[in-house]
């Protein structure tokens, strides 16, 4: 098992002790391109459960390792008039 270093901005990982030079903006562009590709390929499939899956896959792509924190945030019961959020739904793959 090798030790990994991680960029604090974009999450890019490289083997510790090796050159980890990279462009954070390139990593962000890759995530955005992958998320929009998911939307283009699967976003028009009928069924709310499939559209929920598309949203979940896009969020997973965009948040990376922060996905569990996003799900926790999205599932919180917050709001001054009572809870308005529910458990995060991953949907069903088309």
Give tens-digit pLDDT for 31-59: 999 999 999 999 999 999 999 999 999 99
Tokens of 90: 């991953």
pLDDT in tens, 62-88: 999 899 999 888 887 665 555 555 678
DSSP 46: S
Q: What is the pTM of this model?
A: 0.72
* DSSP symbols for 14-64: EETTS-----HHHHHHHHHHHHHHHHHHHTTSSSHHHHHHHHHHHHHHHHG
């Amino acid at each position: 098992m090798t030790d990994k270093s991680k960029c604090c901005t974009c999450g890019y990982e490289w083997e510790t002790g090796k050159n980890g030079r990279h462009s954070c903006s390139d990593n962000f562009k890759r995530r955005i391109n992958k998320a929009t590709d998911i939307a283009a390929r699967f976003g028009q499939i009928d069924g709310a459960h499939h559209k929920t899956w598309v949203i979940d896959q896009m969020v997973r792509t965009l948040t990376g390792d922060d996905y569990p924190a996003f799900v926790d945030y999205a599932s919180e019961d917050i709001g001054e008039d009572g809870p308005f959020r529910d458990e995060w739904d991953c949907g069903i793959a088309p």
